[in-house]
């Protein structure tokens, strides 16, 4: 199917599409397909060797279509090349174990990382590449265009128009690539309605839809319970706010999803406001609707948030704050991962997130042995885009710190925020990343490094901030990292004299250098200390999922 | 934008999360606290040392004198972050000594910041004897005309022997986050099975032992927000109107009769929700989300 053009034939994809539709019509399958017949539909319109995009987003999953595809006959459907953002569900991996699919291009595998690694070692799967989201979306429009895509929407009307609602996520990118290159679009929806709140995907881009037996699965990935934030994380958040956010005047940014950055979000109405930073930092975001940002929004610290996807429990809060979030005329949020990732890459001045391991060059990785987890979007946002041309004070200041007063470009701030030890006393700072061993055991072309060291500008730990922009040699960079690595073996092996010199130059700054009293660093500074506090801040609009409630 | 709510939330300092020393500093008049048996004069538990368990110089309780709203008070504050605030021999002796001093000195009140799962089992009989001595000392103090006000809002609540001690006090000030009961949730589950009580169902635990439930059933006199300043205000409010007579046998009998009647009335109910319904609350499911003021207003409107 994906062979180059045979001589003189320029519309093989269109004619192929027509044949597929005719096979479905011959089985009596119309635009609206009943759930029990979806297996027949998939076997009729998918051909062996096809590239199939199965919508698996960070949150929303086309789980019914995925399970149905996994249950198809491997005699009929085999050697499929799956292209999908996230490999999250057991049925995604079943496709390979059952011999239906054989090749995979993806971004993130999360919970299925262990099974995926075993399949690679057993040679049951060929991995094309592990991408970042933007790369994969880009390749949908270049050389990984799907023949068939299986997507998830919230609702359809009789004509086949789709409402994807707050969790629009990857759908527009997938459908656009498929529908406009002779492909077939099949959607699962939670419900069929007479009138949609709004049309997110027009019916003439959609070939088939099915009302799934149960609503598509959505994972609350971005809810962090403030009760679990520690005093040490509060201290690190204070240092980041005073030593980075304030100094560079960071207004446009993206946050990771860990507790470290949740602590920063919860200090915006308290500590940051006390420092006079309200309106001067953190006004514009590319960010999922983090519940921990509610106090900052309610306090007037935030002007705008564009989101990759939505978050479970925020359905009533977002429409009530439409000045802040992107919402449709119907009131509900519209997310879009491709646009928000683009915003995170090019329009933001800072990315700040956490990692599991960092080496002495500042390379960081979340890879662990025996698991292939991929990258998601962190490398898109956690990298300095050399294509950027517009200036901002934060970008210029960072660029001039790195390249001197005559620097011809700015720098994005890429900040890694970690405690020196993670759980089970595993040191975050290491001489060599596990990623290298993983590369060897999996036969990969590159080690799975999440954020490259040369993109990292600052490292924040409980011991202080290392500003890598000001390092002039690899040796200085190494000592700057050792100098904030605490009591890890890497930190203990520091050259004390050199670290002290770096501190004199302001390359390393401790809490006291920043005028921060560590005794103030306690949870009382958090604007919310529990999920229930977040509900109170929201005036009852935020409705946390049951697992986060203790009332 | 919800500015008044916002400011209130920002300014709150959690009593639940605070250490005993932070509570003492925040609840009593600023700078008024004078510790008896300060760190250099106190000693850690000899029983824990024998077991090779690290002790604490104050054995998990702080005692001293202070003023509260200008009135002289004696103070007990248990440290829930040391061995769950459990009562061992020295811990108990410090409390008993403080209460005996109250009988002598006749302060305006004893403020008892309870935060304890009960007896320190490591100390076996010494712990059991200690807590029974505390119970007697509380009653002696009340009999001497000195009210003993328990504040219950710590992360360990007041369970086991400390549940009994708290109810022996003249009055209890409690936050929603506070918990008060005899057997702790884990104990009930271990003894009677998860079908009887699921200790991991945190919402259920609070519906059965938490401050709102205790307030609706009349077990605590004041319900306050989880904020050290609110506990302070609650305790001051109780003391300024203090007219409660010393316990006489007739009042004790009346109280006993009330509790017997309550036990029969609520027999068989398995959840705070059922109890609240029986008390006449129209929408029991709304209770967990209500703020303190709304709940106090709701209780006023309930049938007596």
CB distance B6–A298 less than 8 Å? Answer: yes
Please report the ipTM that was assigned to this predicted complex: 0.73
Residue A513 has pLDDT above 50, yes or no: yes
| Chain B contact for A270 (CB, 8 A cutoff) | yes
- Specify the CATH number for the domain of residue B128: 3.90.226.10
- Please state the rounded mean pLDDT for residues B58-82: 97
What six digits make up the tokens of A258?
Answer: 């860990």
Distance from CA of B194 to the nearest CA of A (A): 18
CB contact under 8 A, B17 and A535: no
Confidence of residue A8 (pLDDT cuts 50, 70, 90): confident
In 3D space, the residue among A486, A469, A467 whose CA is nearest the CA of residue A240 turns out to be A467
Whether residue B157 lies inside any domain: the answer is yes
pLDDT tens digits, B101-153: 999 999 999 999 999 999 999 999 999 999 999 999 999 999 999 999 999 99
Three-state secondary structure call for residue A287:
coil
Question: Is the Cβ pair B6, A550 closer than 8 Å?
Answer: no
CB of A295 less than 8 A from some CB of B = yes
What letter does residue A201 receive in the DSSP assignment? B
B197 lies in a domain? Answer: no
Kindly provide the b/e burial profile for residues A455-479, where b requires at least 16 CB atoms within 10 angstroms of the residue's own CB.
Answer: bbbbbbbbbbbbbbbbbeeeebbbb
Record: contact B5-A550, CB cut-off 8 A: no
Q: Which of A524, A529, A536 sits opposite B5 (nearest CB)?
A: A536
User: Across the interface, do B9 and A295 touch by the CB < 8 Å criterion?
Assistant: yes
Location of structure tokens 């030593």: A243
Q: Residue holding tokens 């954020």?
A: A451
Is B206's CB within 8 Å of A300's CB? Answer: no
Asked if residue B242 is part of any domain, the answer here is yes
Question: Which residues on B lie below 8 Å from A297 (Cβ)?
Answer: none
Residue B28 predicted with pLDDT over 50:
yes
The mean-pLDDT minimum among A26-35, B1-10, B228-237 falls in B1-10
Confirm or reject contact between A299 and chain B (CB < 8 A). yes
Is the distance from CB of A179 to CB of A172 less than 8 angstroms?
no
Number of domains into which chain B is organized: 1
Averaged pLDDT for residues B56-75: 96
- Lookup result for tokens 């936050």: B175
In this prediction, residue A376 carries a pLDDT of 86
Average pLDDT, chain A: 95
Q: What does the pLDDT read at residue A500? A: 98
Question: What percentage of chain B carries pLDDT values higher than 90?
Answer: 83
Average pLDDT over residues A261-277: 97
User: Would residue B226 count as lying in a domain?
Assistant: yes
The pLDDT assigned to B200 comes to: 86
Calculate what percentage of chain A has a pLDDT beyond 70.
99
Rounded to 5°, the CA angle A25-A31-A36 comes to 85
- Residue B2: per-residue pLDDT: 43
From the number of C-beta atoms within 10 Å of its C-beta (0-12, 13-18, 19+), residue A269 rates as: buried
**Predicted confidence (pLDDT) per residue in A151-202, tens digit:** 999 999 999 999 999 999 999 999 999 999 999 999 999 999 999 999 999 9
Q: What is the distance in angstroms between the Cα of B141 and the nearest Cα belonging to chain A? A: 35
- Domain assignment present for residue B198? The answer is no
CB of A537 within 8 Å of any CB in chain B? Answer: yes
Distance from CA of B53 to the nearest CA of A (A): 22
The SS3 call for residue B303 is coil
Interface of B with A (CB under 8 A): 1-2, 5-6, 9-10, 13-14, 17-18, 202-203, 206, 288-289, 291
Q: What are phi and psi of A325, to 5 degrees?
A: -95, 160
- Nearest residue in chain A measured CA to CA from B204: A551
- Tokens describing residue B131: 């807590």
- A272: DSSP letter: I
Q: Is residue B188 part of a domain?
A: no
State residue A299's pLDDT score. Answer: 96
Burial class (CB in 10 A: 0-12, 13-18, 19+), A138: middle
Instruction: Write the pLDDT tens digit of every residue in B224-253.
Output: 999 999 999 999 999 998 887 777 889 889
Chain A residues touching B9 at Cβ < 8 A = 295, 527-528, 533, 536-537
pLDDT tens per residue across span B149-200:
999 999 999 999 999 999 999 999 999 999 999 999 999 999 999 889 998 8
**Host domain of residue B24:** 20-180+220-246
Unique residue bearing structure tokens 């690539």:
A177
> What letter would DSSP give residue B239?
H
Q: How confident is the model at residue A370 (pLDDT cuts 50, 70, 90)?
A: confident
DSSP state for residue A60 in the 8-state scheme: B
The alpha carbon dihedral of A5, A9, A14, A20 has a sign of negative
Four-point Cα dihedral B157, B160, B165, B167, nearest 10: 70
User: Does A299 contact B6 at a Cβ distance shorter than 8 Å?
Assistant: yes
User: B5, B17, B200, B272: best mutation site toward chain A, by most A Cβ within 10 Å?
Assistant: B17
Q: Give dist(CA B183, CA B281) in Å, integer.
A: 26
Residue B24 has which token pair?
A: 């003492």
Nearest CA in chain B to A532: B289
Cross-chain CB nearest to B289 (options A295, A527, A551)? A551
Q: CB contacts < 8 Å between A and B, how many?
A: 43
Whether residues A533 and B291 touch (CB distance < 8 A) is answered with no
Nearest to A541 by CA among A330, A324, A314: A314
Decide if B106 is inside a domain.
Answer: yes
pLDDT in tens, A470-504: 999 999 999 999 999 999 999 999 999 999 999 99
pLDDT of residue A5: 65
pLDDT of residue B6: 52
Tell me, yes or no, whether B49 lies in a domain: yes
Q: What integer pLDDT is reported at residue A507 of this predicted model?
A: 98
Largest CA distance in chain A: 80
């Amino acid at each position: 199917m994906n062979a180059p053009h045979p001589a003189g034939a320029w519309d093989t994809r269109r004619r192929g599409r027509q044949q597929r539709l005719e096979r479905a019509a011959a089985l009596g399958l119309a635009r609206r397909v009943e759930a029990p017949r979806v297996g027949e539909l998939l076997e009729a319109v998918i051909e062996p060797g096809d590239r199939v995009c199965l919508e698996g987003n960070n949150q929303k999953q086309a789980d019914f279509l995925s399970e149905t595809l996994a249950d198809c006959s491997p005699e009929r459907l085999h050697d499929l090349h799956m292209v999908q953002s996230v490999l999250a569900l057991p049925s995604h991996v079943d496709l390979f174990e059952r011999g239906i699919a054989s090749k995979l291009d993806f971004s993130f595998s999360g919970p299925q990382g262990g099974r995926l690694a075993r399949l690679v070692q057993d040679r049951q799967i060929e991995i094309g590449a592990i991408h970042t989201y933007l790369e994969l979306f880009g390749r949908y429009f270049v050389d990984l265009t799907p023949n068939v895509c299986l997507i998830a929407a919230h609702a359809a009307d009789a004509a086949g128009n789709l409402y994807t609602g707050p969790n629009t996520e990857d759908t527009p990118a997938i459908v656009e690539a498929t529908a406009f290159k002779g492909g077939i679009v099949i959607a699962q929806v939670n419900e069929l309605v007479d009138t949609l709140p709004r049309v997110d995907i027009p019916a003439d881009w959609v070939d088939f839809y099915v009302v799934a037996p149960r609503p598509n699965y959505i994972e609350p990935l971005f809810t962090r319970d403030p009760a679990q934030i520690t005093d040490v994380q509060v201290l690190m958040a204070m240092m980041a706010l005073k030593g980075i956010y304030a100094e560079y005047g960071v207004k446009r940014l993206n946050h990771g999803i860990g507790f470290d950055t949740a602590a920063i979000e919860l200090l915006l109405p308290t500590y940051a406001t006390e420092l006079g930073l309200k309106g001067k930092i953190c006004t514009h975001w590319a960010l999922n609707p983090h519940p921990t940002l509610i106090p900052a929004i309610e306090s007037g610290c935030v002007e705008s948030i564009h989101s990759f996807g939505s978050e479970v429990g925020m359905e009533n809060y977002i429409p009530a704050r439409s000045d802040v979030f992107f919402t449709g005329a119907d009131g509900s949020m519209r997310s879009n991962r491709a646009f928000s990732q683009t915003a995170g890459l090019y329009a933001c001045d800072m990315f700040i997130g956490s990692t599991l391991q960092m080496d002495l060059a500042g390379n960081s990785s979340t890879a662990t042995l025996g698991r292939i987890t991929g990258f998601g979007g962190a490398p898109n946002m956690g990298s300095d885009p050399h294509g950027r041309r517009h200036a901002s004070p934060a970008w210029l200041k960072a660029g001039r710190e790195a390249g001197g007063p005559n620097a011809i470009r700015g720098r994005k701030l890429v900040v890694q925020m970690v405690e020196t030890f993670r759980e089970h006393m595993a040191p975050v700072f290491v001489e060599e990343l596990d990623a290298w061993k993983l590369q060897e055991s999996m036969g990969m072309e590159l080690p799975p490094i999440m954020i490259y060291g040369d993109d990292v500008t600052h490292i924040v730990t409980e011991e202080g901030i290392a500003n890598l922009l000001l390092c002039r040699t690899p040796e200085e960079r190494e000592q700057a990292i050792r100098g904030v690595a605490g009591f890890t073996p890497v930190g203990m092996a520091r050259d004390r004299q050199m670290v002290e010199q770096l501190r004199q130059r302001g390359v390393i700054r401790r809490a006291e250098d920043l005028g921060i009293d560590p005794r103030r660093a306690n949870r009382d500074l958090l604007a919310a200390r529990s999920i229930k506090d977040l509900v109170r801040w929201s005036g009852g609009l935020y409705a946390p999922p049951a697992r986060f409630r203790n009332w | 934008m919800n500015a008044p709510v916002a400011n209130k939330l920002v300014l709150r300092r959690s009593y639940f999360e605070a250490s005993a020393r932070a509570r003492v500093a925040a609840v009593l008049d600023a700078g008024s606290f004078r510790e008896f048996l300060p760190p250099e004069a106190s000693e850690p538990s000899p029983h824990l040392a024998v077991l090779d368990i690290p002790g604490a110089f104050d054995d998990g309780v702080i005692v001293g004198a202070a003023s509260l709203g200008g009135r002289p008070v004696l103070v007990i504050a248990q440290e829930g972050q040391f061995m769950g605030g459990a009562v061992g021999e020295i811990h108990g002796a410090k409390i008993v000594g403080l209460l005996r001093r109250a009988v002598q000195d006749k302060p305006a009140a004893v403020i008892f910041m309870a935060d304890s799962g009960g007896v320190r089992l490591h100390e076996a009989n010494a712990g059991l004897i200690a807590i029974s001595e505390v119970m007697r000392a509380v009653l002696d103090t009340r009999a001497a005309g000195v009210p003993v006000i328990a504040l219950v809002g710590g992360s360990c609540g007041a369970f086991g022997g400390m549940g009994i001690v708290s109810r022996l006090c003249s009055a209890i000030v409690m936050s929603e986050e506070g918990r008060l009961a005899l057997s702790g949730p884990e104990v009930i589950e271990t003894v009677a099975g998860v079908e009887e009580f699921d200790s991991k169902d945190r919402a259920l635990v609070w519906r059965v032992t938490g401050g709102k439930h205790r307030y609706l059933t009349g077990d605590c006199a004041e319900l306050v927000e989880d904020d050290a300043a609110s506990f302070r205000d609650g305790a001051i409010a109780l003391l300024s109107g203090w007219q409660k007579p010393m316990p006489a046998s007739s009042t004790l009998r009346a109280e006993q009769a009330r509790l017997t009647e309550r036990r029969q009335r609520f027999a068989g109910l398995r959840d705070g929700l059922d109890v609240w319904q029986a008390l006449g609350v129209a929408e029991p499911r709304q209770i967990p989300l209500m703020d303190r003021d709304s709940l106090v207003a709701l209780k006023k409107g309930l049938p007596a």
